[in-house]
Amino acid sequence: MMQLSNMSKSFGKQTILQDVSIDISANQITGLIGPSGTGKTTLIKCLMGMEKYDTGSIQIDDTAVPNRKLLNKIGYMAQSDSLYHDLTGLENIQFFAHMYGRKISNKAVQSTLNLVQLEQDKNKLVAHYSGGMKRRLSLAIALINQPEYLILDEPTVGIDPVLKLNIWDQLHDLKKESTLLITTHIMDEAMKCDQLLLMKNKGIAASGTPQEILENFGVSDIDQVFLKLEEIEYANASAD
């Protein structure tokens, strides 16, 4: 389990996250959604140990974050691709697999390439990849270690609709062995998650299964939930 307790993070005088407490359950896909600027990527970076949080605590498997030993358990796909453009797609995968300090079988490499549909382009320099191909390669690198935890920051941006469906089918298969945390701006994808965390105003405004959240707010889609939250916020501000 991933657990955040009363975690806060500021940059200078600007508070980004305030008293965030969440439990991310094992063997589920948890979707982290919210408007741009609500702190989703900052939360992920704190969870990874890439940013130092100010107060509170973060634990993964009862181990406090940051801890280098946890990194081998985590597959991470950032919002921006971090790839070596002078290497081929296959060489990038092999390099990052080596960084995990374990031998990755050719079968696992092949399976991952097939999943992201890069088999035919694996020997092409990444400098010649399209934006969508780079996103697919970044996803392959996150998956290659068969991690216990997968943290994916907008993994399907720039990927065609048919491949998105295939990837989501695979993500649901992966949760049998892994725990997944995914950010997305695509509400159809949010509905594919087992649990949702809706971020607003420096914290978690709503949580639960997609259906539970819709029923609690009496609406038919997640976009309307955020509109309801805006109405509640406005009403509270007016009352003050």
DSSP state of 13: T
Q: Say whether pLDDT at 239 is over 90.
A: no
What is the domain range of residue 197? 2-83+147-239
The answer to whether the predicted template modeling score (pTM) of the entire model surpasses 0.75 is: yes
Identify whether 101 is part of a domain: no
pLDDT at 99: 83
pLDDT at 105: 85
CB hemisphere CA count around 233 (13 angstroms): 9
pLDDT at 240: 63
pLDDT at 60: 95
**Residue 234: which CATH number?**
3.40.50.300
Length of the chain: 240
Identify whether 62 is part of a domain: yes
Identify whether 27 is part of a domain: yes
Strands 29-33 vs 179-183: parallel, antiparallel or unpaired: parallel
Identify whether 156 is part of a domain: yes
Among residues 112, 94, 93, which one has the least CA distance to residue 166? Answer: 112
Identify whether 126 is part of a domain: no
Identify whether 188 is part of a domain: yes
| Under 8 Å between Cβ of 218 and 51 | no
Among residues 49, 21, 12, which one has the least CA distance to residue 202? Answer: 21
Identify whether 98 is part of a domain: no
Identity of the residue numbered 5 = S
Per residue, the 3-state secondary structure of 132-155, as one string, reads: HHHHHHHHHHHHCCCCCEEEEECC
- Provide the number of structural domains found in the chain: 1
Identify whether 179 is part of a domain: yes
Q: List pLDDT tens digits, range 170-203.
A: 899 889 989 999 998 888 899 999 999 999 989 9
199/89 Cα distance (integer angstroms): 35
Q: Say whether pLDDT at 54 is over 80.
A: yes
